[in-house]
Amino acid sequence: MTDSPSSLKTVSIVSLGCSKNLVDSELILGSLKKAGYETSSESDADLIIVNTCGFISEAKKESINTIIELLQYKRQGSCRKLIVTGCLVERYADELKRQLPEVDAFWGTGDLLKIGEIIGKNEIKKIHKSAPGTLYDPDSPRVLTTLPHTAYVKVSEGCSRTCSFCIIPKLRGIMKSRTVESIIGEVRILANLGVKEINLIAQDMTSYGRDIGTNLETLLRGLVNVDGIRWIRLLYCYPWGFTDSLVKIIREEDKILNYIDMPLQHINDRILKLMDRGTTSIRIINIINKLRNEIPELTLRTTFIAGFPSETEEEFKELLDFVEEAQFERAGAFKYSQEEGTKAGDMSHQIPDEVKEERYERLLEVQSEVSLNKNRALIGTVHEGFIEGRENGNYIARIPSQAPEVDGVTYIKRNKKLKVGDLVKVSITDADIYDLFGEVVS
């Protein structure tokens, strides 16, 4: 690499994939800022970083297309270094190096706290490899990229489960939890910066702490005492580990939202077994009933896979019936993606793409009916909400049952001057499949 260490001073990062990758991007920016970089737009940046996703084929395509698109800035000369990081590198470093020679360096998911120092000293190798996954502490430099009142907090890295369709444990390593003290320390700093909503994230939230002799409930007992935090949201829970005491603290502590994101993937026992989910339809239904019975006005979000290898029409129909019966407030879906390096990727009876597509559409259709009815049932109710922006003369807000990025929003008539981060009381006046409409009542 020809450029001297001090000559590069501005950086722009494109963060793809999940919220855990977004936290990594914020840590990369923090590390570069510490090394003297300033953030700037892609078109002005000396250094561009593409933090990629390598989870499933659609995400891989998006990552490659984004890299190719941003390489134009190198050809134009505004960008002098383009570095690719993240899960796609963790999976395909050598192929990427061969196929994308214009990229200056490739860096996986590990060691991200060191990236600024190594780039700053111009010591970065073409492929920087290390153990996968990056944990961090309160004093790790981080540049928040979310709106000022909300932030993600990664409580653990990696996953120790063996779901047969999933490549993540190979990209992020086995589960490693941060200490309760480290997480509470970080949330205190975020609260002092004005953050009000903490979105707790992991690959497997309900297993938090199992590897270090603690648990999610203990963490939550500490987090609810952090002054200034108003909302604590649980994302990426596994259908396991909802002890009576964990459910009790979610129910009793106002700061902990009655919102649970719990990807289920399927409900048919033969498919759950092939997926190696380590659970059964009965146990899933028991957990849902327990959560519904014990947590009032619960918002339950989940995700399903359509078209898993050998899935029959009857088994898929069973899933559709379950979605209709279970009445999830939020449910997303993926078409099964055959991934090399996963057990399911080598399974026979792969489902044809057109059948996957057709099942995916049917699943979304059933859920859209459920979502519409659930949203309409909120008309006339009042909720607190954070103002997040404006669109077509309306304000955009999120209420507790709306997680950032993945759920709908609430459009509010502009009947008074408001700014991003304001907390208001919203009366819901109308609803559609994904979004709500309302007006400020105080």
Q: Give me the residues that bind ligand SF4 (CB under 6 A), please.
A: 159, 161, 163, 166, 168-169, 203-204, 238
Chain length of the chain = 442
Minimum CB separation from ligand SF4 for residue 393, in Å? 41
Closest to ligand SF4 by CB, 7 or 162: 162
* Structure token pair of residue 186: 């970080």
Handedness of CA 212, 215, 200, 387 (dihedral sign): negative
Q: Is 257 helix (H, G, I), strand (E, B) or coil?
A: strand
Minimum CB separation from ligand SF4 for residue 351, in Å? 19
Closest to ligand SF4 by CB, 11 or 163: 163
Q: Where are the alpha helices (DSSP H) in 156-311?
A: 168-172, 180-192, 216-223, 244-252, 269-274, 281-294
Closest to ligand SF4 by CB, 60 or 128: 60
Minimum CB separation from ligand SF4 for residue 240, in Å? 10
Closest to ligand SF4 by CB, 15 or 203: 203
Minimum CB separation from ligand SF4 for residue 363, in Å? 18
Rounded Cα distance between 46 and 52, Å, is: 19
For 382, the enclosing helix (H) or strand (E) is strand 382-391
Minimum CB separation from ligand SF4 for residue 160, in Å? 8
Closest to ligand SF4 by CB, 16 or 195: 16
Closest to ligand SF4 by CB, 276 or 358: 276
Handedness of CA 186, 188, 191, 192 (dihedral sign): negative
Q: In what order do the strands lie in the sheet with 127-128?
A: 38-39, 10-15, 47-52, 81-86, 105-107, 127-128
Minimum CB separation from ligand SF4 for residue 159, in Å? 3
Q: How far is CA 410 from the centre of its chain?
A: 20
